[in-house]
Structure 1
């Protein structure tokens, strides 16, 4: 078929068949359909009862989430869909990083696990250790999460 004779049609009515999915990095062992909810001890910081849950639309931020999560279980990255409103994570946005370059968000509403990324490249051991050290120094200076 010649290029000039091709006809392209677009379905511009309604929504696209794909929803925006987000990533959630953790060391929790979850299954498809599980809901990630607030109210459990946080994997970060003071391990308090979490007021928010977190997701990102960048794989790199999810990798950091998995690598920095507390615990001894396997690092995992899940594809999740929010069930309610999400907002910018103030620890990574606003004055610290204007414009939300990490595309990190938080919510009080559950996230539904819709998939898992099983092949991904982590950061080097040196990078992870440097990040943990930097976070430890911030904590020593009394600079803690805005999400507690």
Structure 2
């Protein structure tokens, strides 16, 4: 983090909220709640626009409609023993196509 904070680049800065969030979660697991709280606050303090404006694609098998909400903490499409902490998107349409082809489920790709 010390090195990242020295870089004056919007792409790097856009990663700060998620980096601080992960650091906070680590401190929480270590039962250091003061440091966890500090890093949660740092995570929430950034109001940085995304470095990439998109288009973004998500590969899955589902009958999604415009406005449907995707949520994390669901089973992985690739490992049944894994709960996903994130929803993954790509700017590559072929990447989403591969993800959809590999996804479990009976919905359309």
TM-score (norm. length: structure 1): 0.35
Q: Which has the larger share of strand?
A: 1
Q: Which has the larger radius of gyration?
A: 1
